[in-house]
Structure formats: structure tokens, C-alpha cells
């Protein structure tokens, strides 16, 4: 009885839930996320780690239903009881920085997210729902599963359109437009074979009112990532750039912008900016800001020159 009302614990484990139907690409995505932990200690709770197919060079040790990776990440199989698996993980010392739960194909992800609401050490970072472009028609009309399918999409703080390469481009665009019409505030991205920068998936900060920075902040990307079908743009923004103006500029880029990060200064002082899941957070800083600013978005983002113009104007 050492964790009771007498001392409340900081919510220091971020929770990301990966939802999506069987075959929608959750395992491939997870596999790629685990290889780009970038210093975060990630624990992944998965349905079947045999299916994960982790590169054997990455595996440090395996005990029962737990695999430790050389980069400090851990993979556990859920077995039949998520509640107990989760409780076991949250009893571990030290706790992971980030917990990723692979929801079962028919799970209601909001039920899983609810654990974060009652666990003082767990903070919901976001629900990422995979939508299988090739099977969308099938799933949306499945007599037994359509309601589950829509529930999962509705629950997503980010929608990842998987297998876009298996169907006509126009079909993917049609799907994206349909999803945007139903869920205008939910950011979307395409994902092929699980390839996606981890920054797009983690750090959605879905739980409002909380702005904790993960203990191991992700490295800011500075190169264009075209093989993922995503564009990124980074720059050093000099001079004061007010939070309000910056927020406005970023929202002018929706729905094409997915993530933005920056360490900047304005009249009120230094601040960090996080934009994810359609929401923007500012955090006061005590340090000298680097002026580093990065945007990740879809190929439809304005080109580098246009972005430069947009933000330099703001920065002037």
C-alpha cells in the first residue's frame, strides 16, 4: 500500500493506442515505430509478438511473453487479458516513457483509453486508427462489423490510411475526402508498409489540459521525407514571433499539416510549441530558444518557398 492518496504520482507514462481492423497494418506500423524510438523507452503491448517479426539483431532477450530490444524498448503480449497486462506493466520499475497498445481488431479504443483516466501515472497521448484503403468498402458494409469500424474511426485522434498503394489514387483521395467530411478535425496521413516517422504518431497530446513534454523529447526532423508520402519543412525563425500569430499561420495550413514543433521567443519570453492532433500547445521555457521550427505534413503542403514566405512574414 505504498501508492495511495498521500502522494499523487505525476502522469509520466504517455499512452498511444493503435486501433484498426485485422490486417489494416497495425503490426507493420508498430514494428517501424519500435525501430525509431530515438531514446524513448517504449513498451508495446501487442496481440501477438510472433507476428511482429522483429529483426533478430534488435532482440536483446526474451522471457516468456516479453521481448526486450537493444534500444531499450520492450514488447509484451497481451494474452487474453488487457487489464492485467496493463496493471503488470504499470507496476514495473522503472516505468516506460511511452506505452503503445495495439488494440485487438474489434476493440473499442475508447474503452482502452479509459484506463488513462483512472491511472494517475498514465496520460492518453492519442488514439491512432488505421483505415485500410483496400478493405474500406468491405469493412464499412460488413453486416457484423460496420458499427465497430465506424466507432474506431470516430475514436481516432489521427487517421492513418494504410495500403494506399493497393488501390487507385483516386480511390484513396475519395476515401480521404469522405473521412474529412465526417471528421473534419481529425488529421489524416497515408502509411505504406508501416513506414511513418514516429513523430507523426506519438505526441498527439489528445488529453486536453495537460502539456507535459515527454522526458525524451523527439529529435526534430530536418530533412524532407518523401518515401513516406509526407513532406517536412524546417527552418530557423529569427526575431520575435508571437504565439497567436504562429498559431494562426499553422491553422491556415490545415488539413495538410500534421505536426509542428518549435522552440521560439516572443514578447512574453521563450516558449516551446507543439502542434498535433489538430491542437496547439505552448509551453513557457527558461532556456535560450534556438529558433528551430519544423512542420510535418502531407505533400499538399505549400512548397518550401511559400512556407518560407508565410513564416518569415510572420516573423518580421
Partner 1 sequence: MAHILAQSIIRHKPILFLSKTCALVLSHAEAMLGLGHFEKGESFVSTIYQAKSIRTMDPHQPHATHIALKDRKILAVGTAQDVADWQAAWGPLELNTDFADRTLLPGFIEGHAHMMEGLLWDYHYVGYYDREGPDGTIWPGLKSIDDVVAHLKQIQATRNDPSEPLIAWGFDPIYFEGRRMTGADLDAVSGECPVAVLHASLHILNANNFIMDAADVKNADNSEYIRRDDSGKPTGEFLGQLGMYMAMRTTNLDLLAAASSPKTLQTFSQVARQTGVTTCTDLANPVPEGAEVAMRETVEKDSFPMRLVVAFQGNSLPPEESVARMQALQDKQSDKLRFSLVKFVADGSIQGFSARLKWPHYYNGAPNGLWYIEPDRLREYLTAFTQAGFQCHVHTNGDECTEVTLDAIEDALRAHPWPDHRHTLQHCQMASRAHFKRMKTLGVGVNLFSNHLYYWGDEHRAITMGPERAGRLDDAGGCLEEGVPLAIHSDAPVTALAPLFTAWCAVNRVSSTGVALGGESEKISVEQALYAITMGAAYSLKMDTEIGSLEVGKRADITILADDPIEVGAQGLKDISVIGTMVDGLVHLNKGRDA
Span interacting with partner 1, options 103-111, 183-191, 278-286, 295-303, rule CB under 8 A = 103-111
Task: Kindly state the smallest distance separating residue 285's Cβ from partner 1, in Å.
Answer: 24
Span interacting with partner 1, options 35-43, 83-91, 256-264, 303-311, rule CB under 8 A = 83-91
Radius of gyration of the chain (CA): 20
CA–CA separation, 113 and 111 (whole Å): 5
Task: Kindly state the smallest distance separating residue 153's Cβ from partner 1, in Å.
Answer: 15
State which residue, 118 or 316, has the beta carbon closest to partner 1.
118
56 binds partner 1 (CB under 8 A): no
Contact residue for partner 1 among 38, 39, 105, 302 (CB under 8 A): 105
Contact at 8 Å (CB) between 292 and 220? yes
Cell for 260?
509542428
Helix intervals (H) in 142-299: 146-155, 169-182, 198-201, 243-251
Bond from prior residue into 255 cis (ω within 30 degrees of 0): yes
Contact residue for partner 1 among 38, 58, 72, 106 (CB under 8 A): 106
CA–CA separation, 21 and 145 (whole Å): 9
CA–CA separation, 296 and 230 (whole Å): 7
Q: How many CB atoms lie within 10 A of CB 283?
A: 13
140 binds partner 1 (CB under 8 A): no
Task: Kindly state the smallest distance separating residue 105's Cβ from partner 1, in Å.
Answer: 5
Task: Kindly state the smallest distance separating residue 81's Cβ from partner 1, in Å.
Answer: 8
Contact at 8 Å (CB) between 225 and 197? yes
94 binds partner 1 (CB under 8 A): no
Contact at 8 Å (CB) between 189 and 196? yes
Contact residue for partner 1 among 4, 170, 223, 305 (CB under 8 A): 4
- Return the closest-CA partner of residue 263 out of 233, 278, 284, 232: 284
36 binds partner 1 (CB under 8 A): no
Contact residue for partner 1 among 39, 72, 120, 289 (CB under 8 A): 120
Sign of CA dihedral 87, 279, 30, 222: negative
Count residues near partner 1 (CB under 8 A): 44
207 binds partner 1 (CB under 8 A): yes
Summarize as ranges the residues that interact with partner 1 (CB under 8 A): 1-5, 8, 21-22, 48, 50-51, 64, 79-84, 86-87, 90-91, 104-106, 108, 110-111, 113-120, 124, 144-145, 147-148, 207-209
Amino acid at each position: 500500500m505504498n501508492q495511495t492518496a498521500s502522494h499523487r504520482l505525476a502522469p509520466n507514462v504517455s499512452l498511444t493506442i493503435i486501433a484498426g481492423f485485422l490486417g489494416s497494418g497495425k503490426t507493420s506500423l508498430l514494428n517501424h515505430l519500435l525501430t525509431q524510438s530515438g531514446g524513448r523507452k517504449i513498451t508495446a503491448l501487442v496481440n501477438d509478438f510472433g507476428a511482429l517479426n522483429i529483426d533478430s539483431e534488435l532482440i536483446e532477450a526474451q522471457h516468456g511473453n516479453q521481448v526486450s530490444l537493444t534500444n531499450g524498448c520492450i514488447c509484451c503480449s497481451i494474452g487474453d487479458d488487457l487489464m492485467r497486462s496493463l496493471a503488470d506493466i504499470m507496476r514495473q520499475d522503472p516505468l516506460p516513457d511511452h506505452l503503445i497498445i495495439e488494440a485487438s481488431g474489434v476493440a473499442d479504443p475508447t474503452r482502452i483509453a479509459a484506463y488513462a483516466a483512472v491511472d494517475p501515472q498514465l496520460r492518453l497521448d492519442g488514439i491512432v486508427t488505421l483505415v485500410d484503403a483496400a478493405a474500406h468498402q468491405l469493412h464499412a458494409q460488413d453486416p457484423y462489423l460496420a458499427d465497430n469500424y465506424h466507432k474506431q474511426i470516430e475514436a481516432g485522434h489521427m487517421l492513418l490510411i494504410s495500403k494506399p498503394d493497393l488501390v487507385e489514387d483516386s480511390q484513396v483521395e475519395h476515401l480521404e475526402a469522405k473521412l474529412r467530411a465526417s471528421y473534419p478535425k481529425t488529421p489524416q496521413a497515408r502509411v505504406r508498409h508501416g513506414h511513418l516517422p514516429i513523430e507523426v504518431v506519438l505526441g498527439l497530446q489528445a488529453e486536453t489540459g495537460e502539456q507535459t513534454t515527454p522526458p525524451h523529447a523527439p529529435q526534430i526532423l530536418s530533412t524532407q521525407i518523401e518515401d513516406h508520402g509526407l513532406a517536412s519543412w524546417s527552418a530557423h525563425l529569427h526575431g520575435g514571433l508571437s504565439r497567436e500569430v504562429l498559431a494562426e499561420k499553422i491553422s491556415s495550413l490545415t488539413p495538410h499539416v500534421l505536426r509542428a514543433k518549435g522552440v521560439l521567443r516572443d514578447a512574453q519570453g521563450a516558449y516551446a510549441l507543439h502542434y498535433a492532433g489538430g491542437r496547439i500547445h505552448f509551453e513557457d521555457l527558461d532556456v535560450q530558444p534556438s529558433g528551430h521550427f519544423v512542420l510535418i505534413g502531407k505533400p499538399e503542403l505549400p512548397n518550401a518557398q511559400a512556407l518560407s514566405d508565410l513564416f518569415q512574414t510572420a516573423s518580421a
